[in-house]
Structure formats: C-alpha cells, structure tokens
Amino acid sequence: MAAADLDSFDRKILRILQRDNMTSQREIAYQVNLSAAAVHRRIHRLHADGIITANMAVLSPSKIGRPISVIVELEVESERPEELEQVKRSLAAAPEIQQCYYVTGEVDFIVIVSVADMSEYEEITKRLFFANPNIKKFRTYVAMDRVKTSFEMPVD
Amino acid sequence: MAAADLDSFDRKILRILQRDNMTSQREIAYQVNLSAAAVHRRIHRLHADGIITANMAVLSPSKIGRPISVIVELEVESERPEELEQVKRSLAAAPEIQQCYYVTGEVDFIVIVSVADMSEYEEITKRLFFANPNIKKFRTYVAMDRVKTSFEMPVD
DNA sequence: ACACCTCTCGCAATTTTTTTTCGCTATGAC
DNA sequence: GTCATAGCGAAAAAAAATTGCGAGAGGTGT
C-alpha cells in the first residue's frame, strides 16, 4: 500500500481518467504528448499496480429515483473488535449505504445513505440501527444541497 | 430532473456500468440478452438523458499519497443566501475537498477532505475555515477505516 | 378492421479504438 | 566497452464501437 512513484506522464493520465475514463487513449496521447501505445502501457500498469482501483459510471440520484442523501453519525455501545466488525459488516452490506467511515472523536461512524424518500430512511433506521443492539444512538442530517460530490483527488 | 422511466434492460445495464463501466457493450449485451447495437443505443440514451452523469476512474488514496480522509462539520455565522453561496463556492473549489453537503440540523455543512498528512489538513483549516469570517466553528473527525466508499446506488 | 406512425429490435457493414508486436534508443551496472 | 533493462514510436492485428437498414410489435385514428 506504499505510495507509488508516478512520473509526470502518469499523473497527467490519472488526472484525465479521474474526470473521464471514456477518453480514448489516442486523445490522452495527444494531450500528454506520448504515443498511444505508451499511454496504453502506462494505463495497463496503473491498473496492475492498483493505483486505479475501479472504473465506474456515476448516475443522477434524482433521475433514478433516489433524490435524498442523508448523513448519519453513529455511536456504538462497545468498541470491542468483534462487535465493531459486526457493525462494519452490517453497514457495508446495506445497498442504500454509499459510504461509511469509522472515525476518531465523539462519534464512531459517519455514514452516507441514499434514499428515495424519508419513509425509506425510517425503514433503514429500523433495519440497521434500532435492530442492532450495539448501536447506542445516531444523529441524522438531511442534505439540502449536494454542494460537491466526487472522489476526485489532487494528483501531484 | 424528474425520475426517468427505465425498463428492466436499462436497469440491468446501469447496474453493470455502476460497477464497471469498462465492460464491453458486447459483454453487456450477453449479460442482459440484447444485441450489442441495442445496448449501445440504450447507453447512448442514458447519457443523453442525464441518467449517467459521469464516467470516472477511482484511484487508490494511499497509492497516490493521500492516505487520510477527514470528515468535517462546519457551522456558519450567517445563513443569508449571499454568504451561504460564498461558503459553498469556496468549499466546492478546493481540490482537497471531495464532497460537501449542506445539511439540516445542528451543523450546516458536512465535508469530506482527502489529505496526505495532518499538516496538510492544518494548512487547509487555515486557508478555508479560519480565513473565512462566515465560518463560526468546525469539528474534525479523522477516518481510521474507510469501511465503504462508493457512489453505487440501488437501481430498482 | 385497416392503414399509419413510432419505437426498438437484430443483423451486417463500416469505422474507430485497443492491443500486440517489432525494432530502436537511452540508461545504468559491471 | 558491453550487456541487460526499460521505455519509446510506428505499424499490424484484433476487438469494439457505431451506423444503416429492414422488420416486427404496439398504439392511434379513421
């Protein structure tokens, strides 16, 4: 998991692919000033080395009928490893949960949930939070505005 | 922005593309039982209709030297529209900020930041939070475990 | 019931892109 | 200096994408 050493070409390629991985290798080659073959070899290596971990299409939440994002803070009863792992597994397995972070500080987990409406959220609280004896309490924040949603990160 | 009407083929295609948009149209055709041409026409329409909003490569945070995710809750001084917009713009423009939600409840913004180390985070707090007179206070949670990170959502 | 229109399909041809292969050159070790 | 390694561009081969066309299903109005 050590940081890989990327040269300036790799970084440029990654910046392009982060924004749009449908960009043709020919176009990338033109933009970064390499041959298409060289770009291909580099992208292949970036995959093999686990630097690129996935390639995904991003969907419009409203257009597919899940217009509401909810951010939830969870506190657990016990942080014993087994109990903790059980909570992690349960949260990670829920398809409505897009993201889950185990964090330092006053709360234990921060979770981002995508739902169609608040009644679906209520159903999820019952299924995942109230039904889990190790979840002590949770606090709900409903997003009024998804100001920025991406996984893009600076590559430098 | 109304929810689009998708048939069962569209939904299957979206489920595949959400997980891996490098899947060839031929392979998708095989999986959903259509011709490659039909799949192509549908994907094209899904793009045109804004149901697929982006296609991106996901990078390994540790491999590109940004192993730390920080979740920050922000409270603002004033929620007057102009002031609010200014805060939103400033947060959205920061490349280290991957996500930003404007939320209901005791805090106003929840922000996810990707950093190389805590000194970079400190620098960001100065630049984005302390330097902004409309940001009253903020609370920092450092992720010990990225239990789940995706944008995948159920398509049903 | 019939003609008409629209939508979407599959098939096949064409174009584009990706992937592989083949020298050639630069760099570092011995 | 020579050998091994790695990276390059160019060209060839393979795969995937896109487009054109005719056909069938389903709905609409006469």
Tokens 């009644």: give the residue. A119
Q: With an 8 Å Cβ cutoff, are B143 and A18 in contact?
A: no
Minimal Cβ distance to B51: which of A2, A60, A110: A60
Q: Which ranges of chain B have pLDDT less than 50?
A: none
pLDDT the model gives residue B14: 97
What are the two backbone dihedrals, phi and then psi, of residue B93, each rounded to the nearest 5 degrees? -80, -15
CATH class name, domain A8-48: mainly alpha
Distance B50 CA to D25 C1' (A): 28
Return the domain boundaries, chain B: 8-48, 68-142
What is the SS3 string spanning A37-50? HHHHHHHHHHHHCC
Closest nucleotide relative to residue A7's CA, C1' based:
D7
Nucleotides of C under 7 A from a protein CB: 8-12, 16-21
Among A130, A94, A131, A86, which Cα is nearest to A112's? A94
CATH class name, domain B68-142: alpha beta
Q: Residues A48-103: pLDDT tens digits?
A: 999 999 999 999 999 999 999 999 999 999 999 999 999 999 999 999 999 999 99
CB A96 within 8 A of CB A114: yes
How far is the C-alpha of B44 from the C-alpha of A17, rounded, in Å? 20
Mean residue pLDDT of chain A comes to 95
Distance B1 CA to D26 C1' (A): 28
Establish whether the CB of A4 is closer than 7 Å to any nucleic acid atom in strand D.
no
- Percent of all residues in chain A with a pLDDT value above 70, rounded to a whole number: 99
- Residue A33 gets the label, from left (phi > 0), alpha (psi -120 to 50) or beta, of left
Task: Tell me the pLDDT band of A1, cut-offs 50, 70 and 90.
Answer: low
How far is the C-alpha of A58 from the C-alpha of B6, rounded, in Å? 16
Among A17, A23, A69, A103, most B C-beta atoms within 10 A, so best to mutate, is A103
Residue type, B40: H
Minimal Cβ distance to A150: which of B50, B61, B98: B98
Closest protein residue to C21 (Cα–C1'): A37
SS3 (DSSP) at B74: strand
Distance B127 CA to D16 C1' (A): 47
CB A17 within 8 A of CB A151: no
Establish whether the CB of A35 is closer than 7 Å to any nucleic acid atom in strand D.
yes
Q: Residues B31-64: pLDDT tens digits?
A: 999 999 999 999 999 999 999 999 999 999 999 9
Long-range CB contacts for residues A2-9, cutoff 8 Å, separation at least 24: A2/B62, A2/B63, A3/B62, A3/B63, A3/B64, A3/B65, A3/B67, A4/A49, A4/A51, A4/B63, A4/B64, A6/A51, A6/A155, A6/B64, A9/A34, A9/A38, A9/A42
Tokens of B42: 């549908």
Q: Does A127 touch chain B (CB under 8 A)?
A: no
Beta bridge partners of B137: B75
SS3 (DSSP) at A33: coil
pLDDT the model gives residue A5: 78
CA distance A25 to chain B (A): 13
Tokens of A68: 């509401």
Q: Residues A2-16: pLDDT tens digits?
A: 677 788 999 999 999
How far is the C-alpha of B129 from the C-alpha of B74, rounded, in Å? 9
Q: Which of residues 15-74 of B touch strand D (CB under 7 A)?
A: 24-27, 36-37, 40-41, 44
Burial (CB < 10 A; 0-12, 13-18, 19+), residue A146, is middle
